[in-house]
Structure 1
Amino acid sequence: MKRENLNAKSAPDPHGGYSQAVVLEQVKRLVLVSGQIPMDSDDKVPEGFEAQARLVWRNIDAQLKAAGMDKSNLVKVTMYLADRQYATQNREIRSDYLGAVAPALTVVICGIFDDRWLLEVEAVAAQ
C-alpha cells in the first residue's frame, strides 16, 4: 500500500498529531473498527478519563492485532467525547498512543450510549 499524508498549505495546519487528509493507493486490506468503548473483557469500566482512554486504545490495538495490523495501519480515527473538558487530556493521550502515526482525525463532543463511558473511538486501518 502507498500512503500519503496531506496537509494543504491553503488550509489550517493540523495540531495534535494528525493529518488533514490521507491518500491511499494499492490497498490490499481495509479494516473498519467499530466504536471501541472503555470496557474490558470482564465488562468493567475504569474510573476517570485517562484510564478509560488508555483502555480504548488497548481495545483498538486488540482489534488491529486480530486483523494482522497495528496502529501504523490507522488511516482514519473518529473520537467521540462525552464532554469538551476532556479535549486536552484526550489530545495528550492520543498523541502518546499514536506517536508518529498521523491518521485523518475527527473529534466530536456528544452524548454517549452509556453514561459511564467518557469516550468512544472508531477507526479505519489499511495495508
Structure 2
Amino acid sequence: MKRDAINAKNAPQPRGGYAQAVKLENFERLLFVSGQIPTDVDDTLPEGFQAQARQVWHNIDAQLKAAGMSKDDIVKVTTFLADRHHTMVNREIRSEYLGSLTPAMTVVIAGIFDTAWLLEVEVIAAQ
C-alpha cells in the first residue's frame, strides 16, 4: 500500500499530530471501527478524562488486532468530546498512542450517548 500525507500549501497547515488529508493507493483491506466508548470488557467506566481516553485507545487497539491490523494502519480518526476543555489532554493521550503517525483527523464537541462518557473515538484503517 502506498500512503501519502497531504498538506496543501495554499490551505491551513495541521496543528499537531495529523495530516489535512491522507491519500492511499494499492490497498487491499479497509477497516471501519465504530465509535469506541470508554468502558472495559466488563462495562466498567474509569473515572476522569485521562483514564477514559486511555481506555478508548485500548479498545481501538483491540479492534485493530482482532482484524489483524495495528495502529500503524490507521488513516482517519474522528473524536467526539463531551467538553472542549478536554481538547489538550485528548491531544496528548492521542499522541502517546499514535506516536509519529499522522492520520487525517476530525475532533467534534458533541453530546455523547451516555453522559458519563467523556469521549468516543472512531477510526478507519487500511492495509
In the alignment, is residue 68 of structure 1 matched against residue 68 of structure 2? yes
Report deviation, 1:117: 0.2
Partner of 1:20: 20
Q: Which ranges in structure 1 are unaligned for 5 or more consecutive residues?
A: none
Partner of 1:79: 79
Partner of 1:103: 103
Report deviation, 1:51: 0.2
What is the correspondence of 1:1-127 to structure 2 with a 5 Å cutoff? 1-127=1-127
* Residue type at the aligned position of 1:117: W
Give 3-state SS (helix, strand or coil) of 1:65's partner: helix
Distance 1:111 1:35 in 2: 14
Report deviation, 1:38: 0.1
Report deviation, 1:96: 1.1
Report deviation, 1:27: 1.1
CA deviations over 1:77-116 (Å, ceiling 9, x no partner) = 0000000010011111111111011000000000000011
Report deviation, 1:40: 0.2
CA deviations over 1:45-88 (Å, ceiling 9, x no partner) = 00000000000000000000001110000000000000001001
Report deviation, 1:12: 1.1
Report deviation, 1:15: 1.2
* Residue type at the aligned position of 1:109: I
Report deviation, 1:121: 0.2
Q: Which ranges in structure 2 are unaligned for 5 or more consecutive residues?
A: none
Identity of aligned residues (%): 68
Distance 2:104 2:68 in 1: 21
Report deviation, 1:26: 0.7
* Residue type at the aligned position of 2:84: R
What's the Cα RMSD here?
0.5
CA deviations over 1:3-41 (Å, ceiling 9, x no partner) = 001111111111120000000001100000000000000
Query: How many aligned residue pairs are there?
Result: 127
